[in-house]
Structures are given as C-alpha cells and as structure tokens.
C-alpha cells in the first residue's frame, strides 16, 4: 500500500443545473421535449436527463431556421459584427467554464481535470481565435485569385462525436460562424448535454435566432441532416465507416464535406529519445481521455534496443495512474463513454490476446457500476494483428518494435489511416526527416496530443479530408473560387 493516499477530492456538481428533459434548440428557442431518450452518466449508469430524438421534420425546421437566419441576418452581417458575437460566446464559455467542465464530465465520463484543463479552455480559445477572423477573411489567402472576400456556403450541417463533445462543437461552430455560415449541429447520442447548455450560451450572447440550431438524436437524426437537400456543407467528425457513408451520400451533388475520421497513430521512440518525457508522451498519447481519441498514439513503435527499458518505465508509470470517479480531481482515467464502446474495446483486446499479444494492466480497482476498462499494454504485437490495424478507441496500447528509421516509417505508414504520428529522438535532422516521411496530418515530435486553435488538424488517406483550426480550417467553410470557372473541391 502506498504511504501517500489521496483522500477523495470530488468536484462539486452543485454548480450545474440539469433539466429533467430537453427539447431541441431551433430558431433561438427550445422546443417541447418529445420522443425522448435518456442520457446517462457512464461512470455510474445513472440517468442524467431525457433528451429529444429529432425526426426528419425537426431537422427540416432546423435547416429552414438556419436558412432564414443565413439569408436574413447572418449572411448579410458585417464580419466585424459577427466577430463580436463570437467574442461574446468565448467570454461566456470562460465565465461558465466550471459549469461546462462538470457537465461534460458527468455526461461523458472523462476526468474533471481534463474537461477543466483541456476541453473547456480550448473550446473557448477556438471561439476567441475565430472571432478575430470574421472581419479579416480577405487576408486569409483563400481567394482563387485577386482579393475577393471569400463567400460562405450557407447552411452547414455538423455532426460531432462523443469523445470531446463541447470541444468538437467549438471546432465546428466557431469557424462556420466566423465565415458567415449558419449551423445545424447534431451532438452525439450519448453526450448531448453540453451542446444543449451551449444553446443557452447562444441565448445569453443574443445570437440571432436560427444562426445556431442544435438537434439531438441518434444516427438517424445525423443521416437526416446529412441528406437534407437544403444543407450546403457537411462537417463530420466520427468513424471512418460513417465518413464513407457520408461521402457516398453527397456524391454527385454540390454539397461540400469535411470529414475528420479515425486513426491508428504510431508513436515512434528512438533509442536516443528523452526517455522520461517520451514515457509521458506515450502515456498521454494513449490514456488521455481513456484513449477515446482519434489521434491517440495507439501503436507504440519502439526501437528494439530500448524496448525492454521503455516498457519497464512505461509499466512503472502506468502503476501510478489513478482510475476512478471522473469527478475526483485526482482521477487520471475516467469511465468509458458507453456500454457499446466498452464491449468493442473488450472484444478487440481479447482478439489481440488470442492472436498472441501479451496483455498487462496495473493493479487497479475499478468501480462496480459504470463502464470501466483498465489501462492496458499489449506487448509482442505484430503489424498483422487486429490490435495493430484496427482503431480500438480505448485505453489500450499496442507495442511493436523496429530496428531502423526506414523500418519505423514503413510500419508507421502501413495503415489505411493517416491522422497523426509521434516521433521521439534528440537528433534534430532525424526529426525533420521522419516528419517528411510520415503520412499523417499532424506530426508531434518530442511531444504528443497537443491542440491549438491556430494549428490545423486533420488527416491523410482514410482519416478523412479537410483541416480544422488555423487558417487552413477556414477553407472548408468558404467558397474559394468562382465555381463556374475552375471546378470545385468536394
């Protein structure tokens, strides 16, 4: 038993008021709740609230509201005024940060220290960053030629995942609004609450009705939104499977899409790496948000001559991770978001063991109720194992080895995905060579899982297309060329 036990340090949930049931947020107001389904706290399986399942007619209304707002107000407003609304939203998010953090943790299951220190502050930062762009778009270098002000698409349909509910909302809504589009957003079925609280922020900011509409529901709602004929552009973050379905469904139309999909990132550790920081990077890379991160460093590629040392340090460090009550300020890992996700993780890990991988987890007592999976390391993994190729989306690290930089690159790139990669070495020229070779949209060298509103994020290959964040992220929300002349990028 350790000498230094931390007593429970739970964050208070009194700060947030959760309604019994929620309607949809359409045209600036909440509808009456109907066809509701429960959203639960994955840490203890209690029902937090009932939310409404939006049907095709609701989606129609939301899209119509967004269209009216686009044509009547938002599309005509000066960039400077749009920007001021976004600044307001950023400030309100900062003011109500703790409330959002608590609600996110309750609905998602991720530790309060992550929602408090990562999700919510970066969400606010996204609004702040994009607010400044609203009246400077002609300087963004997005025009086909000359100095035209890029034009918005119109109504944007956005479908976001459950792993970073508020942050993904910010990634989607902030650039859409800054560029003059209006939005219908569907949060994930299992994590709708912060999006509904965000609707309240829009009201507090006096955002014109219909500029942001939030429709809750399951995949059917998302499909209705994606397929709606009056939606001009789709922005989706989620699985590659659904991403492909969206790409098919908009084929042959003039609907645009950006897709931010799965990943199977390699985190490559050379023998001259700053080893203690590399271990932290590996841990943060795969156990941040219980590994439910599309850019998670789920494949550790470690140079063979330091494999044993790195794995030993990794295991020792893993033993200090605290798994438990997400509301406890000392929890490093919280709950898995849903039963379905837990089942998927469990079955993939079992498949890995069946294929010959060796499974290791530190001793940790998991709560009896809720959806929990211990931090897990699989050693002896080969490139052909399912756990090395399929996205697990859980706290599971597969360890592989390599001998030369070329082999590391070959293995890292040997995947249908291409979202992110990590490189750890003290040799500068090798970092730059590796960064050139890796087919991934984000390369973290001697760091991992860093995010910033100014930094574009998005993948190569089956990890999707388009970028979010930075100057590049604006591109997806504007028409960059007179379409009649030179063609249009999907």
Partner 1 sequence: MTRLDVRKTYKLYIGGAFPRSESGRTYEVVSAKGEFLANAAMGSRKDVRDAVVAARGALAKWSGATAYNRGQVLYRVAEVLEGRRAQFIEEVAASEGLTPRAAGASVDAAIDRVVWYAGWTDKIAQVLGNLNPVAGPFFNVSAPEPTGVVGVLAPQTSSLLGLVSVVAPVIAAGNTAVVVTSASRPLPAVTFSEVLATSDVPGGVVNIVTAQTAEVATWLAAHRDVNAVDLTGVAGADGVDWAALEREAAGNLKRVLRPVLSDGVPVEPDWTADPGLTRIRAFVETKTVWHPKGL
Partner 2 sequence: MVTVSTTTRTAQDLTAQARDVLGVSRLTNHALTSWLHGLPGVDQVGCEARAAALGTRSVKTTSKAWAIDTAIGMIDLTTLEGSDTVGKVRSLCAKALVPDALDPRTPRPAAICVYGDMVATAKAALGDSGIHVAAVATAFPSGRASMAVKLADTRDAVEAGADEIDMVIDRGAFLSGDYLTVFNQIAEVKQACGAAHLKVIMETGELVTYDNVRRASYLSMLAGGDFIKTSTGKVQPAATLPVTLIMLEAVRDWRELTGVQVGVKPAGGIKTTKDAIKYLVMVSEVAGDDWLSPEWFRFGASSLLNDLILQRQKLTTGAYSGADYVTID
Q: Applying CB under 8 A, which residues contact partner 1?
A: 125, 141, 144-145, 240, 243-244, 247-248, 251-254, 259, 261, 416, 431, 435-436, 440-447, 450, 452, 454-458, 460-462, 464-465, 467, 470-472, 475, 480-481, 483-490
Q: Contacting partner 2 (CB under 8 A), which of 180, 281, 453, 470?
A: 281
Query: Which does residue 254 bind out of partner 1, partner 2, none, counting CB within 5 to 8 angstroms by kind?
Result: partner 1
Contact 234, 250 (CB under 8 A): yes
Q: Is 206 exposed, middle or buried (CB count within 10 Å of its CB: 0-12, 13-18, 19+)?
A: exposed
Q: Which of residues 116-135 bind partner 2 (CB under 8 A)?
A: 117
Scan for tokens 């899409």, then name that residue.
257
Contact 156, 258 (CB under 8 A): no
Which residues are registered as beta bridge partners of 51? 22, 37
Q: Which is nearer to partner 2, 83 or 111 (CB)?
A: 111
Query: Which does residue 29 bind out of partner 2, partner 1, none, counting CB within 5 to 8 angstroms by kind?
Result: none
Query: Which of the ranges 5-13, 47-55, 76-84, 434-442 carries the binding residues for partner 2, by CB under 8 A?
Result: 5-13
Q: Kindly tell me the sign of the dihedral angle through the C-alpha atoms of 459, 464, 465, 470.
A: negative
Q: At 341, which helix (H) or strand (E)?
A: helix 339-354
* Residues whose CB falls within 8 Å of the CB of residue 431, separated by 6 or more in sequence, listed in order: 423, 425, 445, 446
Strand order in the sheet with 182-186: 29-30, 25-26, 212-214, 182-186, 155-159, 233-237, 256-260, 464-465
What is each CA distance from 250 to 232, 258, 259, 295, 456, in whole angstroms?
A: 10, 11, 12, 26, 24
Q: Which is nearer to partner 1, 333 or 438 (CB)?
A: 438
Query: Which does residue 248 bind out of partner 1, partner 2, none, counting CB within 5 to 8 angstroms by kind?
Result: partner 1
Q: Which is nearer to partner 1, 187 or 281 (CB)?
A: 281
Q: Which is nearer to partner 2, 273 or 408 (CB)?
A: 273
Q: Which is nearer to partner 2, 113 or 256 (CB)?
A: 113
* Other beta carbons within 10 Å of 52: 24
- Could you say whether residue 447 binds partner 2 (CB under 8 A)? yes
**In whole angstroms, how close is the CB of 294 to partner 1 at the nearest point?**
14
The span from the CA of 324 to the CA of 407, in Å, is: 38
Q: Is 248 exposed, middle or buried (CB count within 10 Å of its CB: 0-12, 13-18, 19+)?
A: exposed
What is each CA distance from 246 to 154, 253, 255, in whole angstroms?
A: 19, 12, 11
**In whole angstroms, how close is the CB of 9 to partner 2 at the nearest point?**
4
Q: Among residues 357, 157, 163, which one has the least CA distance to residue 257?
A: 157
The span from the CA of 322 to the CA of 9, in Å, is: 13
Q: Contacting partner 2 (CB under 8 A), which of 230, 241, 272, 350?
A: 272
Query: Which does residue 486 bind out of partner 1, partner 2, none, counting CB within 5 to 8 angstroms by kind?
Result: partner 1
Query: Which does residue 363 bind out of partner 1, partner 2, none, counting CB within 5 to 8 angstroms by kind?
Result: none
Q: Coil, helix or strand for 356?
A: coil
Total residues at interface with partner 2 (CB under 8 A): 24
Query: Which does residue 285 bind out of partner 1, partner 2, none, counting CB within 5 to 8 angstroms by kind?
Result: none
Q: Which is nearer to partner 2, 33 or 362 (CB)?
A: 362
Phi-psi label, residue 398: left if phi above 0, alpha if psi -120 to 50, beta otherwise: beta
What is each CA distance from 124 to 128, 135, 162, 314, in whole angstroms?
A: 6, 19, 18, 33
User: Which of the residues 99, 104, 189, 260 is marked catalytic?
Assistant: 260
Query: Which of the ranges 64-72, 238-246, 273-281, 350-358 carries the binding residues for partner 2, by CB under 8 A?
Result: 273-281
Query: Which does residue 281 bind out of partner 2, partner 1, none, counting CB within 5 to 8 angstroms by kind?
Result: partner 2
Query: Which does residue 406 bind out of partner 1, partner 2, none, counting CB within 5 to 8 angstroms by kind?
Result: none
- Could you say whether residue 268 binds partner 2 (CB under 8 A)? no
If you ran DSSP here, which 8-state letter would residue 321 be given? -
Q: Which is nearer to partner 1, 23 or 441 (CB)?
A: 441
Q: Contacting partner 2 (CB under 8 A), which of 253, 305, 320, 382?
A: 320
Q: Contacting partner 2 (CB under 8 A), which of 13, 329, 430, 472?
A: 329
- Could you say whether residue 330 binds partner 2 (CB under 8 A)? yes
Query: Which does residue 485 bind out of partner 2, partner 1, none, counting CB within 5 to 8 angstroms by kind?
Result: partner 1
The span from the CA of 232 to the CA of 229, in Å, is: 8
Q: Coil, helix or strand for 210?
A: coil
260 is known as an active-site residue:
yes
Q: Which is nearer to partner 1, 14 or 485 (CB)?
A: 485
- Could you say whether residue 455 binds partner 2 (CB under 8 A)? no
- Could you say whether residue 422 binds partner 2 (CB under 8 A)? no
Catalytic residue numbers read 260
Q: Which residues of the chain form contacts with partner 2 (CB under 8 A)? A: 2-9, 113, 117, 272-277, 280-281, 320, 329-330, 426, 446-447
């Amino acid at each position: 038993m350790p000498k230094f036990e931390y007593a429970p340090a739970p964050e208070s949930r009194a700060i947030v008021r959760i309604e019994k049931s929620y309607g949809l947020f359409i045209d600036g107001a909440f509808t009456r709740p109907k066809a509701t389904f429960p959203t639960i706290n994955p840490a203890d399986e209690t029902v937090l609230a009932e939310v409404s399942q939006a049907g095709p007619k609701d989606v129609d209304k939301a899209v119509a509201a967004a269209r009216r707002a686009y044509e009547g107000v938002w599309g005509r407003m000066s960039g400077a005024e749009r920007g001021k609304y976004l600044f307001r939203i950023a400030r309100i998010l900062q003011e109500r940060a703790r409330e959002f953090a608590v609600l996110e943790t309750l609905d998602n299951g991720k530790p309060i220290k992550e929602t408090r220190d990562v999700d919510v502050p970066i969400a606010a930062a996204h609004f702040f960053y994009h607010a400044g762009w609203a009246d400077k778009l002609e300087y963004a270098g997005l025009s086909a030629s000359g100095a035209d002000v890029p034009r918005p698409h119109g109504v944007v349909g956005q479908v976001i995942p459950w792993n970073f509910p508020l942050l993904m909302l910010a990634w989607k809504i902030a650039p859409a609004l800054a560029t003059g589009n209006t939005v219908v957003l569907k949060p994930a079925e299992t994590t709708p609450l912060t999006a509904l609280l965000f609707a309240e922020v829009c009201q507090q900011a006096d955002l014109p009705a219909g500029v942001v509409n939030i429709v809750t529901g399951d995949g059917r709602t998302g499909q209705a939104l994606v397929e709606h004929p009056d939606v001009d552009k789709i922005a989706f973050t989620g699985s590659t499977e659904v991403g492909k379905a969206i790409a098919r469904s908009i084929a042959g139309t003039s609907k645009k899409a950006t897709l931010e999909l799965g990943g199977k990132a390699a985190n490559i550790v050379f023998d001259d790496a700053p080893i203690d920081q590399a271990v932290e990077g590996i841990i943060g890379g795969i156990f941040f948000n219980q590994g439910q991160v599309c850019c998670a460093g789920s494949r550790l590629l470690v140079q063979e001559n330091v494999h044993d040392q790195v794995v030993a340090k990794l295991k020792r460090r893993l033993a200090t991770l605290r798994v438990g009550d997400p509301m406890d300020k000392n929890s490093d890992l919280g709950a898995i978001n849903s039963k379905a996700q837990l089942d998927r993780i469990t079955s993939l890990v079992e498949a890995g063991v069946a294929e010959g991988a060796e499974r290791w987890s530190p001793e940790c007592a998991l709560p009896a109720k809720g959806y929990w999976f211990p931090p897990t390391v699989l050693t002896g993994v080969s490139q052909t194992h399912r756990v090395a190729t399929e996205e697990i989306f859980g706290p599971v690290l597969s360890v592989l080895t390599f001998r030369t930089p070329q082999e590391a690159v070959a293995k890292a790139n040997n995947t249908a995905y291409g979202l992110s990669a990590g490189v750890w070495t003290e040799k500068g020229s090798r970092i730059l060579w590796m960064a050139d070779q890796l087919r991934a949209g984000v390369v973290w060298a001697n760091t991992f899982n860093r995010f910033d509103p100014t930094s574009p994020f998005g993948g190569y290959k089956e990890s999707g297309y388009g970028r979010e964040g930075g100057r590049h992220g604006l591109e997806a929300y504007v028409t960059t060329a007179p379409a009649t002349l030179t063609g249009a990028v999907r």
